Amino acid sequence: MIVQQVLNGLVIGGVYALTAMGAAMVYGILRILDLASAGAYAIGAYAGLFLYMATDNIVMSFLGAILLTGFFGTAVQKLLYIPMLNRPPIVPLIASIGLFIFIQDLLRLIAGPRIREFNVQLPFSAWKTEGLTVNPTWILIILLAAAFLAFLWYILTQTRIGLAWRATAQDLEIAKAMGVNINKVVALNFFLGYSFAAAAGIMVGMLYSSVFPTMGDVPAYKMLALIVLGGLGSPVGTVIAAVLIGLIETLVAGYIGFFLPRDAIAFVALIIILLVKPEGLISKKA
């Protein structure tokens, strides 16, 4: 049973990490809390569903959905956030909330308010032993989440664009003065962040075989908890926080029970951890 619960927690943690990673990177560079990336979570799920209905090919649907959502992210960066960089941080935050609500209502108008089924037949079956069941969708989610996060780690640590990202996150004005193309760095940041959120939305749609317009509500506020817990803009801290919260949710719900909804467990854990470590799991200095 413990192995089963840990596996469940890793699946949920991987989805959380992909969902929050985009917003964490945006905050790390621009110091903006981008709630609209939770809308990208829903956009990706719907785009994946419609492409799958048209092509009956999950690989093409997955790639097409994350690319479309990534380009949507760059459009948001250019049209919404760039004109607001000189405003107080509360202004882009309010704008991102407005965009998130707009995305939900637009999806409701285009796709309808009802839940749509997202049934995908994977080429491999479930693996079962005594006391342990491994769903094929879980395997796919863990592998894809690991691949996306490894790709991000490679970019951040082994490439020039990653060096530019880190320099911009430390001091945007100095990086610009030293010749870093800030516009390209930020645009790629939004592209990858929204693509990651879209991938998470598709995975959750496949996991629960359903998508709906308001499916980004829970990720929106849980994403904020992960960013704060991870250390405000730290990609590594965000991944650790996501896996930790996924495991805590699963183990507490499975073994202890809870009188509040399962999603509240994340915030109880957030409060307890921040009381002990107020700077988050990975501090800015670290």
* Strand locations in 29-169 (E): 116-117, 127-129, 132-134
pTM: 0.87
Q: Which residues of 204-236 are buried (b: 16+ CB within 10 A; e: fewer)?
A: bbbbeebbbbebbbbbbebbbbbbbbbbbbbbb
Distance CA 193, CA 152 (A): 10
Distance CA 25, CA 10 (A): 22
Q: What pLDDT score does 260 carry? A: 66
Cα 206 to its chain centre, rounded Å, is: 16
SS (H, E, C) 194-261: HHHHHHHHHHHHHHHCEECCCCCHHHHHHHHHHHHHHCCCCHHHHHHHHHHHHHHHHHHHHHHCCCCC
Q: What pLDDT score does 285 carry? A: 55
Q: What pLDDT score does 124 carry? A: 65
CB 21 within 8 A of CB 239: yes
Q: Which residues contact 150 (CB under 8 A, 6 or more apart)?
A: none
Write out the H or E segment, with its range, that includes residue 103.
helix 90-111
Ranges of residues in the chain with a pLDDT under 50 are: none
Distance CA 118, CA 137 (A): 12
Cα 144 to its chain centre, rounded Å, is: 13
Q: What pLDDT score does 123 carry? A: 67
Other residues' Cβ atoms within 10 Å of the Cβ of residue 69: 31
Q: What pLDDT score does 258 carry? A: 60
- Cα dihedral angle (200, 203, 204, 205), rounded to 10 degrees? 120
Q: What pLDDT score does 283 carry? A: 62
Length of the chain: 286
Q: How many CA atoms lie within 13 A of 88 on its CB side?
A: 3
53-66 pLDDT, tens per residue? 999 888 899 999 99
11-22 pLDDT, tens per residue? 888 888 888 888
221-257 pLDDT, tens per residue? 888 888 888 877 678 888 888 888 888 888 877 766 6
Distance CA 180, CA 186 (A): 11
Distance CA 114, CA 156 (A): 40
In whole angstroms, how large is the CA radius of gyration of the chain?
19
Distance CA 212, CA 42 (A): 8
Q: What pLDDT score does 226 carry? A: 83
Q: What pLDDT score does 56 carry? A: 87
Distance CA 68, CA 88 (A): 30
